[in-house]
Structure 1
C-alpha cells in the first residue's frame, strides 16, 4: 500500500495518495469503475466484451434494489462446484490485495492462494439471488453534499498556517522566528560547531574558558615577573648607586626619642624616621657606621641630617638616661629616680611598697637584688612604678642569660641564695679578678660554718656606706649583721651585676678564708688568721695616712 493506506471504514483514500486514480491498476477493468475526482466510488459499467466461464450463469448487472456495488471487480462468477470466489486485482502478478482493506494475500501465478484458509472467510453479504454464494461487502456510497463538505474541510485545513509538530499552539513560522532570535542571542561565533552534540559543545566551551583563564593567569604572572624584576633593579640601583634621601642641616625644634637597649642601627633608624628626625633609614645607617651608639632617651631635633643626628646622639648632653651603678641599694635607686623625674623625695619608695613589680615569688616582695644595674632611658612622663618594673624585667633577662636556676642547683644553692652571695661579692670586691676569689671565701666559710664577718652587711643594716667598722658596730643587733649571725643574711644587700652573678655561680679554686683590701687595687687573700691580722694592720695604717 501507499503511505496513507486505506482505512477499514467507508472513507475513500486520501486524494494526495500517489496511487490515487492510477489507471494502470484499476482491478483489471481499464476505463471502467473506480473513483471519481473526489475519491468517491463510481458504479461499474458493463463490459461489452464480457466473457464467461463454461457452465457459468450470467446475471444482469443491474444493482440489487436498495444496494449499489461500488467495486465492479467483485462480480458474481460461479464455478461448477457452486463455490464462489471474488475476483481480485493483481499487482504486477506478485501480490494480491484484499480490497476490503483488511488483508494482503500472497499470489501464485496471478491467482489468490488459500485466502479462506489463511485469513478466514472475508466479510460478505448474502447473495440476493439465492445461489448460496458470498458477495464482498462494499462501502456505502456517499452523497454529493457530504463529499463537498469533507473536501471543503480538507482544503480549509490545508490553508491554515503550518504547525510545528511538537508545539500545537504555535505556528511553524512563529516557532522558526523564535528559534532564529534565540540562536542569534546565544551565538558564540562557532558556526562550524552548530551541529555539534550538546555534551561535546559544553566540553569544548569549558576548555575554551579554562584556556582563557590559563592565558590570563600566565599574563598576570608574566606582568608580575616583569614588575618584580623592574622593582628589584630599581631597588638595587637605589641601594648601591643612588644617594639615600636625607635632610640637610642641624634641624629645628626639639623631640625626645626613646631607643630601646640592644636596638640595631636599622631599628634606631626606623625610630628616628618615625619621629621625623631623619629622612631615611639608609642615610642614618650609613652615617652611623661602626660608631658606638646605645639605647637611651635622646633629646634631638626634627629634620636633621643623618650625620648631625649621629653626632648629637654621641654627645652625652643629648642623652636623657638614668645610670644605675652595680651594687646600688634599692634606697639609693629610689632617690635617683625621684631626682631624675623631679619628684619629691620618697615618692618612688612609697610607690614601690605594695606595688606589683613582677618579682619572683621567692623574693617575698623585696625588690632588693632585682633592680638590675645598667643604663636606662627615662622621660619626663615616666612613672616611677613603670621604671622599677623595667628594672625587674631586665634583672630576669640577665639571670636568664646566666641560667641561674640550673647553675644554682649545681653549686647546691637556690637561685635566691646565689643572688644574696652575688650581692656580697658586689659589695666586697673591687677588681675584676677579685670577684671569683671573694666568692670562694664565702663558700669556704659557709662550708666550715664560720661567720662571714663582712663589714658591708653591717653598713647595710645601719643604712650607711663606710670602710670603718668599730667593735660596737660588730655588735649591732640586725639579722644582716654577719658578725653575730652565721650563714647568709636574709636577703641581698644590693643589686649585683652580671659579673657578680657569674662569680657566685663559678667561684675560683682556693682554700682562702680571709681577705682584706689594704688599698685600692690591693686585696690580699689567705687562709692563715695571723697573716690576715698583719694585712689588717697595714690597712689601718693606710687609712690613717690617707685620711680614710
Structure 2
C-alpha cells in the first residue's frame, strides 16, 4: 500500500473508499467482508458513507464496461478468424481419411494432420475451439478414421477417448510371388480372402505411370516387400494400391531413366532383372555381380538358364530340379527361351533394384552356388564352372 498524508482528509476519504470497494468485492466472493482497522467505515459520518457508495458505483461501472468490451472484442475476433479460415470443418466431403497419432503428438500437430488430410478446414480454428471449450485434454495414440468434414466435437472425443479403429498387419518378405503374397494377406485375419487379393493384384488399373507399359499384365514385382498395417474393413484393392504406392515411394530416387538408356531396357525389364537377382543372390554383396552376369549373357546371346524362372513356371518350389523340369513349356523357361522372361518372378528388394540399375562391370558369364550355400562362385571360364558345379554336387 502506498503511503499517504494523514493530514489530508481528501486522501483519507479516497483511501477509505478504495478499501471499502475492495471489501465489497471480497464479500461478493466469500459471502461477507471481514472488517479490520483499514476497512471499518465511520458510522458517525454519513457523508463519508455516501461518498464511499458513490465511489463504489462509479468504479464498478468502468469494470463491467471493460469486461463487456473484452468479450465483444473476442467475439468479433472469433467471427473474423472463423470467416477467414472457413471454420474448423468446411473440408472435403464424401469419403474418409486415416490419421495416425503417435506418442508425443500434441493437439496442434494432430490438428495439422487433420487439415492436411482435409478432415477439417483450419487446424488453427480446431485448436482454438478445443482450448476455449476446455477439451484440450491429452490425446491418445492410435490409428483413426475420420469423415472429411466431420464435426469437431466428434473428432476431439475420439482423440481424447482413444477410439482407434482395430487394425490388421502383415509382412511381405523380399522375393515373394504374387501368389505367395496373397497367402500372406489371407492369413493376416483382415477379412481379405486369397481370391480377393489375387483379383485385385491381377489388375493394373491403379493410376500409376509405371504400370502403363503394355507389356505389364498384372502387379507381379511391384508389390513392395515391407511390413504393413491396415484398418479392419480395408478392401483388397486398397491393400494392393498401398503396396504399389510403397513401390513408388521406395524407388523415387532410383535412376530408371539413366539405366534404361544405358542398358537399352524398359523400367519393367529392369524390374524383371531385379526379381531374378532377388531369387538368385546368396548375400547382398553379390547382387550387383549377378546383375552383371545376367546382362553379359543377354548381350552374348546366351540363354540365362536361371533355375528360379523354372520354379516360377512350375508354380511351386522344388529343392532339386530334374531334366524334365528344365523342359517345361513356358515363356518363363530361361533354359529354352533366350533373353528375359516376360515379367518379374517375385517382388525384389530395393537392394536388388539398385543392383539391376547399376551392375558391376565384369566379363563374368557363369556362377554356381558354393557347397555351404553362403555365396556363389563366379567365372567366365566354362571348365571352371563345370568343376565348381561338380564340387557343389549339382
TM-score with structure 1 setting the length: 0.42
Which of 246, 257, 273 is 1:405 aligned to? 257
Query: 2:385 & 2:108 partners in 1: Cα distance?
Result: 56
How far did residue 526 of structure 1 move?
1.1
1:510 partnered with 2:358: no
- Secondary structure, in 3 states, of the residue corresponding to 1:540? coil
How far did residue 521 of structure 1 move?
1.4
How far did residue 344 of structure 1 move?
3.9
How far did residue 493 of structure 1 move?
0.7
User: Could you report, residue by residue, the CA deviation over 1:294-319 in whole angstroms, capped at 9, with x for unpaired residues?
Assistant: xx979xx98799xxxxxxxxxxxx98
Query: 1:381 & 1:339 partners in 2: Cα distance?
Result: 15
- Secondary structure, in 3 states, of the residue corresponding to 1:377? strand
Query: 1:413 & 1:345 partners in 2: Cα distance?
Result: 33
- The corresponding residue for 1:324 is 172
How far did residue 492 of structure 1 move?
0.8
- The 3 A distance-change label for structure 1 pair 373 and 392 is same
Query: 1:267 & 1:531 partners in 2: Cα distance?
Result: 65
Q: Which moved more, 1:329-338 or 1:532-541?
A: 532-541
How far did residue 531 of structure 1 move?
1.5
Query: 1:451 & 1:274 partners in 2: Cα distance?
Result: 53
**Structure with the larger helix share:** 2
Residues 215-234 of structure 1: pairs in structure 2 closer than 5 A: none
- The corresponding residue for 2:206 is 357
- Secondary structure, in 3 states, of the residue corresponding to 1:401? coil
1:452 partnered with 2:304: yes
- Secondary structure, in 3 states, of the residue corresponding to 2:376? strand
- The corresponding residue for 2:6 is none
**Contact 2:167–2:231 under 8 Å retained in 1:** no
**Contact 1:327–1:497 under 8 Å retained in 2:** yes
**Contact 1:435–1:500 under 8 Å retained in 2:** yes
Query: 2:294 & 2:244 partners in 1: Cα distance?
Result: 26
Query: 1:499 & 1:264 partners in 2: Cα distance?
Result: 31
Quick one: higher RCO (CA 8 Å, sep 6+), 1 or 2?
A: 2
**Structure 2: which 5+ runs fail to align?**
1-72, 74-97, 115-135, 145-157
Query: 2:270 & 2:331 partners in 1: Cα distance?
Result: 18
- Secondary structure, in 3 states, of the residue corresponding to 1:446? helix
**Contact 2:292–2:360 under 8 Å retained in 1:** yes
- The corresponding residue for 2:328 is 476
- The corresponding residue for 1:537 is 390
How far did residue 339 of structure 1 move?
2.0
1:523 partnered with 2:376: yes
Query: 1:364 & 1:434 partners in 2: Cα distance?
Result: 28
How far did residue 267 of structure 1 move?
8.6
1:494 partnered with 2:346: yes
User: Could you report, residue by residue, the CA deviation over 1:319-372 in whole angstroms, capped at 9, with x for unpaired residues?
Assistant: 842111111111111122222224444222134444623352115331111111
How far did residue 415 of structure 1 move?
1.0
Query: 2:103 & 2:267 partners in 1: Cα distance?
Result: 32
How far did residue 470 of structure 1 move?
1.2
Which of 210, 217, 220 is 1:368 aligned to? 220
Residues 136-285 of structure 1: pairs in structure 2 closer than 5 A: 259=100, 266=105, 270=109, 280=138
**Contact 2:275–2:347 under 8 Å retained in 1:** yes
Query: 1:352 & 1:304 partners in 2: Cα distance?
Result: 37
**Contact 2:167–2:230 under 8 Å retained in 1:** no
Residues 10-29 of structure 1: pairs in structure 2 closer than 5 A: none
Query: 1:471 & 1:460 partners in 2: Cα distance?
Result: 16
Query: 1:501 & 1:352 partners in 2: Cα distance?
Result: 20
1:348 partnered with 2:197: yes
- Secondary structure, in 3 states, of the residue corresponding to 1:400? coil
- The corresponding residue for 2:295 is 443
The Cα RMSD (Å) is 3.7
- The 3 A distance-change label for structure 1 pair 452 and 338 is same
In the comparison of the two structures, how many residue pairs are matched?
258
- Secondary structure, in 3 states, of the residue corresponding to 1:525? strand
TM-score with structure 2 setting the length: 0.57
How far did residue 426 of structure 1 move?
0.7
Query: 2:137 & 2:173 partners in 1: Cα distance?
Result: 36
- Secondary structure, in 3 states, of the residue corresponding to 1:438? helix
- Structure number with greater Rg is 1
**Structure 1: which 5+ runs fail to align?**
1-222, 224-256, 285-295, 306-317, 542-548
User: Could you report, residue by residue, the CA deviation over 1:355-402 in whole angstroms, capped at 9, with x for unpaired residues?
Assistant: 623352115331111111111112221111100011112212222221
